[in-house]
Amino acid sequence: MAVKKKQIDPNQLSLFDVIKRIEERKKEDRTIAGSFSMEHRLNALLSKALKHCPLSRELVAGRMSELTGEEITKTTIDAWTASSKAKHRFPAKYLPAFIEATGDREILKVMAEMTGCYLVEGEDALLTELGRIEKTKEELAKKEKLVRQTLDDLGGKNRR
């Protein structure tokens, strides 16, 4: 039986891209007034997610309703994504259901990056955790070596 290889997302950042972005973020001034305004950007990200989703807006609304236990309609989704309807903002409480319904995590990625964080998913998250474990093991091995050396030094002095 052939093993199906996981498709690599072309939008997925490499570790080096992440490090580069972190360094760029350190240089940016985050205190610029309005730099965290998400209204228009969020509308665009919601619209893009819906455009690329294989489900219709009606089905996305239905799935979100099912997940939240609250009635969400296509009309509501249309109002959230319409730039002409500024008073109809997308409530953050619906974000997990929207992501689950559309399968699009771009909004999370953007929000995380705005605050200096990065979204790591699936196998990449496990590989990151494995890297942390390896680093901890190396640090513990160095400490163990130092303690053993200190014990040897103390033992040698007591024998004399």
pLDDT digits (tens, 9 = 90+) for 68-89: 999 999 999 999 988 776 677 8
Please give the pLDDT value at position 92: 92
What six digits make up the tokens of 136?
A: 């901890």
- Which residue in this structure is represented by tokens 């093993």? 3
Q: How far is CA 95 from CA 20, 38, 49, 92, in A?
A: 28, 14, 12, 5
Instruction: Tell me the pLDDT of the chain averaged across its residues.
Output: 83
Mean pLDDT, residues 79-108 taken together: 89
Q: Torsions phi, psi of 101, nearest 5?
A: -70, -40
User: CA-CA distance, 95 to 107, in Å (whole number)?
Assistant: 9
| pTM (global) more than 0.85 | no
Cite the DSSP H helix spans in 69-121: 74-81, 95-102, 106-114
Please give the pLDDT value at position 160: 44
| pLDDT above 70 (res 47) | yes
Task: Tell me the per-residue pLDDT of 53-70, one tens digit each, with 9 for 90 and over.
Answer: 999 999 999 999 999 999
